């Protein structure tokens, strides 16, 4: 766990330190498989109740303590905008499904961009616990099969583990190429690492080697681990075949065993034994401390990092001595009692997360009255409206990340994996006059304003939006990998829009790293698809970006939540691409979002951004009359400026 700790504190110093988790999986598979195999050979059976009770005594007390402490620490140190996400992940961690929550978030555009929660490290413990549940059941089935088939039970164990290894490794290889966003956290892409340790446990008795060979094995294994730690980075396709280097290295070290040469004690020195005994507690404590610290500081410098290491060791020693050891070796009169205690501890964590969610709900402001003079929003920039002081911000920081357009809550914003042309109908749903909004999430962010405009004009507004997918006909990538669902969705949506024969098509998209001539050609190609059926095309320039999380900044240092406009401005290339094309106009609303010299997180007592680069639905709604004016339309003052942001 030392590699993981160093990676989390100073990732640039050990860019591949995350392989410590893979090494942990190999060791865990080796120990648990060996334990179960010895029990099966000695007793002819595996007591599931005894095994699960022992696991509960070993793992749950310390895990529960850290989760409860993290819940309390989150309320004290985390911004309110992160309470809801943290509470949900505390519950997921207590139920040992955190890895699946993170896998889901990794394909959810906004979830993937969220700052890591203080309990994110429970993803690896979740996979480990899932292995603890599954593997004894498989081995019990193997024992029954071996008896009926009259074959050695060890051979059946090896066959099953080999099958698990092969299937899981194949899934890992496939996912590392075609499903990179979920591959890292998914159970099926990691199980082969545990199976590798299990195969080693079942075969190591056949291995006999002299000291010289064992030295070579250990040295080679440590070298493989060191190389992966130094050469790997967050850009390495992982797990996939790249994970073979550290995992096989760990296997070689295990196979080499305890190597001692004279005064050299190998890995059996006192400090390593001390850390090894407390590795579970160290792993549990280090990440919440680091995450809570970085919630209020931009980075972990050397002195702060050393202090976090010292605090981690101090808390780990206390929890190891007074929690782990106390419950691990307690003499329970009945095997079922630890399971009852374990379920109670899980329930306590779920209740704690529920309390955090309740605290969030009491802080979320539900409504913002239209034309409330306390919340002028963009009118402070465009109309000179006065901004009263000491007014609670809207949306509240606790509800900031939920201030989304309706297309997200209604399920008609297409995610990253599918290509269907999902759509929502807004505005005047019964009207025969149709307007369309088309693009990625930076187009979707304008829907609250466009909904208001459509309703005032008597239009039906139909949305076609997809996460991280440019509407322009350019190559699309996701995390540097091919994004096959994007071009398929684009063409499906274009065909659906043409069939609607809309009066106007609103388009927008984020900035994508594509050369200007290529982007211009891709934009014009799509725009002409719409003008050819008589539609007016409005291209809304991309919005500026903030270099910080607005919710975090406004919670910690609200007077510093601003950036020079030169650093915030984002170019979409619309102006150049639109030159010479009839019925295409470009609208830039930057002056309604930022001041001439700088962009601020709050304008007119309304929080502008819900994250680094998406407008809040509340602020987008407030921009509706100004956007309409730029387009030559009028908007009724009776429209609720809170739009569809749930405010």
Identify the pLDDT of residue 261.
52
The answer to whether residue 647 scores a pLDDT higher than 70 is no
- CATH number of the domain at 523, please: 3.40.50.1110
416 and 515 both lie in a single domain: yes
Segment 260-269 long-range contacts (CB within 8 Å, at least 24 positions apart): 261/211, 261/215, 266/218, 267/218
Contacts of 591 (CB under 8 A, 6+ apart): 381, 382
Instruction: Check residues 618 and 372 and name the one with the higher pLDDT.
Output: 618
173 and 101 both lie in a single domain: yes
Identify the pLDDT of residue 641.
37
Residue 274: inside a domain: yes
Phi, psi at 268, each rounded to 5°:
-100, 25
Instruction: Check residues 267 and 440 and name the one with the higher pLDDT.
Output: 440
Pair 454, 426: CB distance under 8 Å: yes
| Burial classification of residue 392, based on how many CB atoms lie within 10 Å of its CB (0-12 exposed, 13-18 middle, 19 or more buried) | exposed
582 and 436 both lie in a single domain: yes
334 and 391 both lie in a single domain: no
The answer to whether residue 516 scores a pLDDT higher than 80 is yes
Maximum distance among all Cα pairs of the chain, rounded to whole angstroms:
89
446 and 319 both lie in a single domain: no
pLDDT in tens, 23-42: 999 999 999 999 999 898 88
Query: How high does pLDDT run on average in the chain?
Result: 88
pLDDT in tens, 283-298: 999 999 999 998 888 7
Residue 364: inside a domain: no
Residue 374: inside a domain: no
CB neighbourhood size of 266 (10 A): 16
Domain count, the chain: 2
Residue 256: inside a domain: yes
The answer to whether residue 263 scores a pLDDT higher than 60 is no
105 and 181 both lie in a single domain: yes
Closest C-alpha among 176, 631, 97 to residue 349: 97
Q: What is the DSSP letter of 438?
A: E
Identify the pLDDT of residue 330.
60
Single residue among 296, 329, 359 that ends a domain in this structure: 359
333 and 465 both lie in a single domain: no
Angular region, 332: left φ>0, alpha ψ -120 to 50, beta rest: beta
pLDDT in tens, 305-328: 999 999 999 999 999 998 888 877
Peptide bond before 276: cis, by omega within 30 degrees of 0? Answer: no
Its domain, for residue 168, covers: 2-359
Q: How confident is the model at residue 482 (pLDDT cuts 50, 70, 90)?
A: confident
76 and 208 both lie in a single domain: yes
152 and 241 both lie in a single domain: yes
329 and 450 both lie in a single domain: no
Question: pTM score > 0.75 for this model?
Answer: yes
Q: How far is CA 335 from the centre of its chain?
A: 38
Residue 500: inside a domain: yes
Residue 642: inside a domain: no
Residue 516: inside a domain: yes
Contacts of 197 (CB under 8 A, 6+ apart): 25, 26, 27, 28, 29, 30, 31, 33, 250, 251, 254
The answer to whether residue 265 scores a pLDDT higher than 70 is no
Identify the pLDDT of residue 646.
36
Residue 199: inside a domain: yes
pLDDT in tens, 70-115: 999 998 898 888 888 899 999 999 999 999 999 887 755 555 566 7
Identify the pLDDT of residue 58.
85
246 and 283 both lie in a single domain: yes
Q: What is the DSSP letter of 184?
A: T
% residues pLDDT > 70 (the chain): 90
348 and 402 both lie in a single domain: no
Single residue among 359, 391, 424 that ends a domain in this structure: 359
């Amino acid at each position: 766990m030392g590699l993981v700790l160093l990676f989390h504190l100073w990732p640039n110093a050990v860019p591949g330190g995350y392989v410590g988790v893979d090494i942990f999986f190999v060791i865990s598979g080796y120990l648990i498989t060996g334990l179960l195999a010895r029990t099966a050979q000695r007793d002819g059976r595996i007591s599931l109740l005894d095994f699960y009770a022992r696991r509960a005594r070993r793992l749950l007390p310390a895990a529960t303590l850290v989760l409860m402490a993290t819940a309390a620490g989150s309320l004290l140190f985390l911004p309110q905008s992160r309470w809801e996400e943290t509470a949900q992940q505390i519950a997921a961690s207590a139920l040992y499904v955190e890895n699946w929550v993170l896998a889901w978030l990794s394909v959810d555009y906004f979830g993937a961009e969220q700052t890591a929660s203080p309990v994110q490290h429970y993803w690896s413990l979740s996979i480990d616990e899932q292995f603890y549940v599954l593997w004894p059941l498989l081995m019990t089935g193997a024992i029954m099969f071996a008896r009926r088939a009259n074959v050695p039970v060890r051979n059946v164990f090896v066959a099953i583990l080999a099958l698990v290894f092969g299937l899981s490794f194949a899934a890992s290889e496939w996912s590392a190429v075609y499903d990179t966003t979920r591959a890292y956290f998914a159970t099926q892409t990691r199980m082969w690492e545990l199976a590798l340790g299990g195969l080693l446990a079942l075969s190591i008795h056949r291995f006999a080697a002299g000291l010289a060979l064992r030295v070579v094995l250990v040295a080679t294994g440590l070298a493989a681990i060191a190389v992966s730690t130094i050469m790997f980075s967050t850009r390495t396709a992982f797990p996939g075949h790249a994970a073979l280097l550290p995992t096989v290295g760990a296997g070689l070290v295990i196979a080499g065993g305890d190597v001692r040469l004279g005064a050299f004690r190998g890995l059996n020195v006192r400090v390593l034994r001390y850390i090894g005994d407390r590795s579970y507690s160290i792993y549990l404590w280090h990440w919440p401390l680091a995450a809570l610290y970085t919630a209020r500081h931009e980075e972990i410098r050397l002195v702060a990092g050393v202090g976090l290491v010292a605090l981690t060791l101090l808390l780990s020693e206390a929890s190891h001595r007074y929690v782990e050891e106390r419950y691990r070796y307690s003499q329970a009169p009945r095997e079922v009692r630890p399971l009852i205690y374990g379920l109670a501890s899980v329930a306590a964590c779920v209740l704690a997360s529920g309390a955090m969610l309740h605290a969030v709900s009491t802080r979320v402001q539900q409504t913002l009255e239209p034309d409330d003079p306390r919340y002028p929003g963009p009118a402070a920039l465009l109309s000179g409206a006065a901004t009263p002081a000491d007014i609670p911000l809207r949306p509240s920081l606790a509800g900031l990340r939920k201030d989304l357009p309706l297309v997200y809550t209604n399920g008609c914003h297409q995610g990253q994996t599918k290509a269907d042309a999902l759509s929502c109908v807004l505005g005047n749903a019964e009207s025969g006059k149709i307007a369309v909004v088309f693009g990625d999430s930076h187009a979707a962010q304008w829907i609250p304003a466009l909904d208001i405009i459509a309703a005032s004009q008597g239009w039906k507004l139909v949305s076609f939006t997809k996460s991280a997918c440019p509407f322009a006909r350019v190559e699309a990538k996701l995390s540097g990998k091919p994004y096959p669902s994007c071009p398929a969705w684009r063409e499906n949506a274009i065909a659906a829009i043409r069939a609607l024969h809309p009066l106007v098509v609103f388009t927008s998209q984020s900035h994508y790293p594509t050369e200007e001539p290529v982007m211009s050609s891709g934009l014009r190609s799509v725009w002409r698809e719409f003008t050819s059926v008589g539609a007016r095309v409005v291209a809304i320039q991309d919005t500026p970006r903030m270099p910080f999380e607005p919710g975090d900044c406004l919670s910690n240092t609200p007077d510093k939540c601003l950036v020079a406009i030169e650093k915030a401005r984002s170019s979409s290339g619309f102006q150049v691409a639109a030159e010479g094309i009839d019925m295409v106009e470009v609208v830039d609303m930057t002056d309604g979002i930022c001041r001439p010299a700088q962009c601020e997180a709050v304008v007119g007592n309304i929080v502008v951004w819900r994250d680094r680069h998406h407008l809040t639905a509340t602020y987008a709604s407030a921009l509706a009359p100004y956007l309409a004016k730029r387009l030559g339309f009028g908007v009724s003052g009776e429209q609720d400026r809170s739009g569809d942001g749930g405010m």
